[in-house]
Chains A and B, each alone.
Chain A
């Protein structure tokens, strides 16, 4: 384990999305069927379990998004993450040797205020992705107190 890098202050924050696949497909919407979490609660993130998770970030942090269905055997995948690309550019990768994907990005600059971003998911066998109606947010350290 690279202990030094661990202590350097650069951090990897994982953001996990849990989708109720049956609920989303039956109602036609992710509203009420999406739960977001991240691993930076101790660093100030809020809204764990809600659709508008507020993730605290700083320059150099690595962000990693994963998703799975509440019904664990149902197919689910993040189809798209759209946000202001001056802050970070999420890219999709596969876990080596599998067809399970994750999205990863490095925070290039401190977001000023709150930066909302949009998530879209491919649920079950439905071809068109479903967009989350509410936007989770990245927010940075206040410039004045940095």
Chain B
């Protein structure tokens, strides 16, 4: 069992900004975990993991000369309750558009022990592409699942 899982978020920035959505092929998520995650290559990636493993998220643009950065990752309660859990970018600065700060953020953390095995813990990924009214898009379908 690897101690680290990398989750890659691949974005077609021009496609996403043109259509105003990450759906429709503009977003692809993959991880390199060895516990058979499901939904590889789709926005609905469910990463199988174990307590103690380190998970790291990275965003990559298909066109390397276009910008994309993770603005926030928020976990939701598995019973579908309100979006509890902090996890908004800890930069905590006022949201005055694009922050060069977003390149400083490292989105990694350790899987806690209290996850119920077999339950999907969904999270909401917010991506920022450049700055402006249309620059922030969400994917609310991926999740983590404790394998056993």
The residue in chain B whose Cβ has the minimal distance to the Cβ of A29 is B132
Q: B133: which of A28, A71, A123 is its contact (CB, 8 Å)?
A: A28
Q: When chains A and B are docked, how far (Å) is the Cα of A133 from the Cα of B63?
A: 28
Q: Is the interface of B mostly helix, strand, loop or mixed?
A: loop
Tell me if A125 is interfacial: C-beta within 8 Å of chain B: yes
Q: Does B131 contact A (CB under 8 A)?
A: yes
Does residue A67 face the partner (Cβ distance < 8 Å to B)? Answer: no
In this complex, how many residues of chain A approach chain B with their Cβ under 8 Å: the count is 17
The interface bits of chain A over 12-33 (1 if a CB of B lies within 8 angstroms of the residue's CB, else 0) are 0000000001110111110000
Find out whether the CB atom of A25 lies under 8 angstroms from the CB atom of B134: yes
- A74 CB within 8 Å of chain B: yes
**Are A71 and B134 touching (Cβ within 8 A)?**
no
Residues of B within 8 A of A26 (CB): 17, 129-135
Q: B94 an interface residue at 8 Å Cβ cutoff? A: no
A69 and chain B: residue at smallest CB distance: B14
**How long is the Cα–Cα vector from A40 to B5 in the complex, in angstroms?**
57
Measured in the bound complex, the distance between the Cα atoms of B13 and A125 in whole Å is 11
Contact assessment for B66 and A22 in the assembled complex, using a CB-CB cutoff below 8 Å: yes
Least distance between A73 CB and chain B CB atoms (Å): 6
Instruction: Say whether B18 contacts A123, CB under 8 Å.
Output: yes
B66 to chain A: which residues have CB within 8 Å?
A: 22, 71, 74
Interface residues of A (CB under 8 A from B): 21-23, 25-29, 71-75, 123-126
Top 3 A-B pairs, shortest CB-CB distance: A27-B132, A25-B17, A125-B18
